């Protein structure tokens, strides 16, 4: 079956799936250059059809992520809704519009009401959603009527159907979607049995977002900063946070009976006058790890499963994923690479595809996701035209991996844009910035160049076969670590030799690279290791702060020039930066980094 998958919610995008294989997958944000772009993904649909090389008339099924519950259906089953109103902090109007905008009711326009309350769930949105079949037919020539799937079911299918597991516990957790914040499924031979659901009112993801906002960052976007900051603090506020959100008898429970502004006020009100951001981050991270692992462990105990498939925005938290890996009895953990809402359309398409296979009596055969290079490719002509247009000096090396490895060994920063763009939030070699891993100050000066404020260290990319030499007990996570979705504790040698990629808690978020997944990228790492003896290179996404990862040759050239990096690999070409990174690096020589480690003065 040839299926078009679509998500048009908080992060929109599209994919094409044929007989269980993902042929193309692109998020709208990469095309329109706006992070978490919302709305109907017209450009993504056109792009994935082109990438997959299929005609719209050949599409046999259309799968839509999210069904958008109506407000009345949700309120009837939402404990705490009327209690929240009765406590008096939020007026009826506030509670109604916040709940309505979250759970899909059509909200009438009220003059003066904050636009944020409407979110996506405006009359215009509801009307357009009813017309999706008509839009697809009239604008694209896609004939099948759309089939809608629950937000959390599509998270679960995205994780299970790409994990390679035959039997698994599929767990989803996030801020909320279709009225829920978590689902748990027991899956055997492709058949899903739903074990439990948790209302969005009881969302652990929301509590993590509240702390993100209190610490001065953007909720639902900058939670990764809190994860990195947490390792620098002490969890002195964890008892209070645990009194507000907990896991009890296999259910997530909003013990504080608070949400939105009331929850923010209660957390702020509990903090001492001289509270520290890093301590609050450490507290919510500890609580999130404990609650999530207790939730997963409860259902593992009920089912006896040994494999765990994870998806949902909470599992973008790589430290939580490692803690789940360490639950006694767990043998393997797989986190879907597009774990947040950027992967919903893949889950929807896979759900429809496998439903059709079951109807046709096709036996289920587990398949591990091979790679995530599912997006836009670059032609040599496009690359050359972009470089000429920017006036950059460039060459075409005879042996690109060797040439790039030499530049890295010299201490240069190299941006790589080659091959098909990655699907999901992680850059995995094709839209990546690379650097040597032994400079402990790199997190400071390279983030300054990229206009980022980050506390998570850059990730190490190393050869897949080196995993056991670099990380402690990586078994059970080798496949998911190919997609940079879990932390692992580093060996003493890794900590000593590669301080630029090791966090203060001794962990790293590795990308394990197989040659069959990305031959040229693997060869760069291999050549660099042979030249320097260092077993990894730094990998961070190629984008400027608050912009999506680069997609086209033009995106790459602009980001390269604005970031003052040293070299740019663009397809088969390598360009030299007009300014380079050395001026910013000079500022950090001899200074202490935010990690309390001295800068590498030889760079």
Q: pLDDT digits over 551-603, tens only?
A: 999 999 999 999 999 999 999 999 999 888 877 877 766 665 554 444 433 33
φ/ψ of residue 557, rounded to 5: -65, -45
**Per-residue pLDDT, 131:** 87
In percent, the amount of the chain with pLDDT more than 90 equals 79
Which positions ≥6 away from 594 have C-beta within 8 Å? Answer: 443, 444, 455
Q: Tell me how far CA of residue 476 lies from CA of 302, 309, 573, in angstroms.
A: 21, 12, 38
DSSP 481: G
User: What angle separates helix 204-214 from helix 223-230, to the nearest 10 degrees?
Assistant: 80
State which residues of the chain have pLDDT below 70: 69-128, 588-603
Cβ 254 vs Cβ 80: under 8 Å: yes
- Taking Cα atoms as reference points, which of 6, 28, 46, 10 lies closest to residue 548? 28
Query: What's the pLDDT at 452?
Result: 85
**pLDDT tens digits, 34-86:** 998 888 999 999 999 999 999 999 999 999 998 874 333 333 334 443 334 33
Read off the tokens for 318: 């790589």
Please give the Cα distance from 487 to 492 (Å, whole number). 16
Q: What is the pTM of this model?
A: 0.90
Q: Is 576 exposed, middle or buried (0-12, 13-18, 19+ CB in 10 A)?
A: middle
Count of CA atoms in the C-beta half-sphere (13 A) of 22? 31
CB of 319 closer than 8 Å to CB of 487: yes
Per-residue pLDDT at 437: 97
Cα 598–602–603 angle (5° rounding)? Answer: 90
Q: Which domains are assigned to the chain?
A: 2-68+126-154+349-359 (3.30.420.40), 71-120 (no CATH), 163-335 (3.30.420.40), 380-588 (3.90.870.20)
Query: Which residues in 349-430 belong to E strands, given as ranges?
Result: 394-395, 414-417
Backbone CA torsion sign across 548, 505, 298, 252 = negative
Q: What confidence score (pLDDT) does residue 33 get?
A: 94
SS3 of 330-363: the string is CCEEEECCCCCHHHHHHHHHHHHHHHHHHHCCCC
Query: What are the residues facing 508 on neighbouring strands?
Result: 488
pLDDT of residue 93: 41
* Residues 590, 593, 595, 601, CA torsion sign: negative
| 104 contacts 121 by C-beta, under 8 angstroms | yes
Q: What is the model's pLDDT at position 39?
A: 84
Using DSSP, state whether 389 is helix, strand or coil: helix
What pLDDT shows up at residue 591?
A: 62
């Amino acid at each position: 079956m040839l299926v078009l998958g679509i998500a048009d919610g908080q992060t929109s995008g599209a994919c094409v799936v044929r007989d269980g294989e993902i042929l193309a997958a692109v998020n709208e944000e990469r095309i329109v250059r706006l992070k978490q772009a919302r709305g109907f993904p017209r450009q993504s649909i056109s792009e994935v059809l082109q990438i997959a090389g299929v005609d719209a008339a050949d599409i046999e099924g259309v799968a839509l992520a999210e069904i958008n519950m109506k407000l009345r259906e949700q309120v009837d089953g939402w404990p705490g809704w009327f209690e929240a109103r009765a406590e008096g902090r939020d007026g009826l109007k506030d509670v109604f519009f916040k709940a309505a905008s979250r759970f899909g009711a059509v909200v009438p326009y009220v003059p003066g009401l904050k636009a944020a309350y409407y979110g996506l769930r405006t009359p215009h949105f509801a009307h357009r959603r009813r017309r999706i079949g008509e839009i697809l037919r009239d604008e694209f020539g896609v004939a099948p009527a759309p089939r809608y799937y629950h937000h959390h079911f599509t998270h679960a299918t995205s994780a299970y159907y790409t994990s390679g597991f035959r039997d698994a516990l599929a767990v989803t957790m996030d801020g909320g979607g279709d009225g829920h914040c978590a689902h748990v499924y027991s899956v055997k031979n492709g058949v899903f049995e739903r074990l439990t659901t948790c209302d969005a009112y009881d969302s652990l993801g929301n509590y993590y977002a509240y702390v993100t906002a209190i610490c001065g960052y953007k909720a639902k976007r900058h939670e990764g900063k809190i994860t990195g900051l947490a390792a620098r603090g002490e969890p002195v506020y964890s008892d209070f946070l645990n009194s507000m959100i907990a896991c009890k008898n296999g259910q997530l429970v909003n013990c504080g009976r608070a949400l939105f502004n009331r929850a923010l006020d209660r957390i702020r009100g509990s903090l001492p006058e001289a509270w520290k951001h890093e301590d609050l981050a450490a507290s919510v991270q500890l609580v999130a790890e404990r609650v999530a692992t207790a939730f997963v462990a409860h259902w593992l105990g009920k089912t006896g499963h040994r494999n765990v498939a994870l998806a949902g925005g909470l599992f973008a938290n790589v430290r939580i994923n490692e803690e789940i890996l360490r639950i006694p009895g767990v043998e393997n953990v797989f986190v879907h690479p597009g774990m947040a809402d950027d992967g919903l359309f893949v889950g929807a398409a896979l759900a429809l595809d496998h439903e059709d296979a079951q109807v046709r009596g096709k036996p289920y055969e587990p398949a591990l996701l091979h790679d995530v290079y599912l997006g836009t490719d670059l032609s040599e002509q496009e690359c050359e035209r972009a470089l000429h247009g920017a006036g950059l000096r460039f060459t075409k090396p005879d042996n690109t991996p060797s040439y790039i490895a030499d530049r890295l060994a010299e201490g240069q920063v190299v941006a790589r844009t080659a091959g098909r763009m990655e699907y999901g939030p992680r850059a995995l070699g094709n839209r990546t910035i690379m650097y040597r891993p032994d400079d402990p100050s790199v997190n400071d000066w390279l983030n300054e160049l990229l206009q980022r404020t980050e506390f998570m260290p850059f990730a190490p990319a190393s050869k897949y076969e080196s995993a056991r030499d670099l990380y402690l007990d990586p078994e059970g996570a080798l496949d998911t670590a190919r997609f940079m979705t879990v932390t692992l504790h580093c060996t003493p040698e890794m900590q000593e030799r590669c301080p630029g990629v090791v966090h203060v808690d001794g962990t790293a978020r590795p990308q394990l690279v197989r040659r069959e997944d990305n031959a040229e990228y693997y060869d760069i790492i291999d050549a660099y290791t042979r030249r320097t003896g260092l077993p990894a290179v730094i990998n961070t996404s190629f984008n400027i702060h608050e912009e999506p990862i680069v997609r086209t040759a033009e995106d790459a050239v602009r980001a390269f020039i604005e970031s003052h990096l040293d070299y740019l690999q663009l397809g088969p070409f390598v360009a030299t930066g007009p300014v380079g990174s050395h001026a910013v690096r000079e500022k950090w020589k001899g200074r202490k980094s935010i990690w309390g480690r001295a800068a590498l003065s030889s760079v």
